[in-house]
Amino acid sequence: MIFNEILPGTKLRPYIKCFYLYESQSNLDYDDIVFPSGTMEVIFNLGEGFWKTKKDGLFCTTPPIELWGQITKPLAIKSLGRNTMLGIRFYPHSAAYFFNENVAEFNNEVVDAAHLFGPSLKTLHARLLDSSDLNNRIALIEDYLWNKLILSEKKHNKIKFVGEIVSSLKTNYNNEIVSISNRNNISPRYLNMLFSQYTGLPPKLFCKINRFQHSLNLVNSNDQKLTNVAYHAGYFDQSHFIREFKLFTGITPNSFSAQASPINQILAGN
């Protein structure tokens, strides 16, 4: 497996967390599970293989250009054949800059991004397939995103405001929505609505997923006891940590350590 993260150019860094290239080096099929990350992604499938995601008990083949909404529960996936994926990982709030829909509509969904962005995205996909140079591919995507960003200028202030709230919640899980709304002279109800509209998640659920991702990184380090992980990740106690970890992964922390897969960090990276 090859996995590379690429920082966007300077002008797109406030809007794009990273690009990434994933290449499987084997034709072997495998099953895996993707966990909630608090972010949304667009993924271009550029290889010969394909992916399937599970919905309502059935595995469905993903489209050539995938939009991953916010995942709030474990999502089963299948990789079939040799895959090459070029992904765009947004910040929790920044996918909203690039399309008009309420992003909460896409929660726990993997949808055809071309239906949202139109024929221009299919044209971009074709150009990416025609090129084998990673730098050129990234340049093509950046040009496309920058042009989309200019068209959404009218809502930039609201999305930027939500981004400031995201930052405050990521550094302080106990930052009360009432306190934030009072500081900004808006109602808690309006703040919750705005946050959900532009991130896809209610603030409390966002905090839970962000805390879970922090705990996941600590568990992956394999050098701390679960009691220490629970403390450093901000849980009340170890049982609280285990309960929420299982909610987002379907397994306990001990079970995860024994069967961790790198694909979880690629498709649900924090």
Is 9 part of any domain?
yes
Domain that holds residue 126: 2-152
- Tell the residue number behind the tokens 């709304």, with chain if given: 181
Instruction: Kindly report, residue by residue over 220-239, the tens digit of the pLDDT.
Output: 876 678 889 999 888 989 99
Please give the pLDDT value at position 153.
85
Cβ-contact 72, 205 below 8 angstroms = yes
Please give the pLDDT value at position 120.
95
Is 257 part of any domain?
no
Burial 148-170 (b: 16+ CB within 10 A, else e): bbeeeeeeeeebebbbebbeebb
Please give the pLDDT value at position 180.
84
Please give the pLDDT value at position 5.
95
Please give the pLDDT value at position 220.
81
CATH number at residue 61: 2.60.120.10
Is 50 part of any domain?
yes
Kindly give the pairing relationship between strand 41-45 and strand 65-68.
Answer: antiparallel
Please give the pLDDT value at position 84.
93
Is 244 part of any domain?
no
Longest Cα–Cα distance of the chain, Å, equals 56
Is 136 part of any domain?
yes
Cα-based torsion angle of the residue sequence 140, 143, 144, 149 in order, rounded to the nearest 10 degrees = 160
Please give the pLDDT value at position 269.
54
pTM: 0.91
What tokens does 24 get? 């499987």
Is 173 part of any domain?
no
Q: Measured between alpha carbons, how far is 203 from 153 in angstroms, rounded to an integer?
A: 24
Picking from 255, 231, 254, the residue whose alpha carbon sits closest to that of residue 241 is: 231
Residue 112 sits at φ, ψ, to 5 deg, of -75, 110
Is 92 part of any domain?
yes
Task: Give me the number of domains the chain comprises.
Answer: 1
Cβ-contact 65, 112 below 8 angstroms = yes
How high is the mean pLDDT in each 10-residue block of the chain (270 residues)? 92 97 84 93 94 92 96 93 94 93 92 94 97 97 95 89 89 73 88 93 93 89 82 90 94 78 54
Is 189 part of any domain?
no
Please give the pLDDT value at position 128.
98
Please give the pLDDT value at position 173.
59
Please give the pLDDT value at position 126.
98
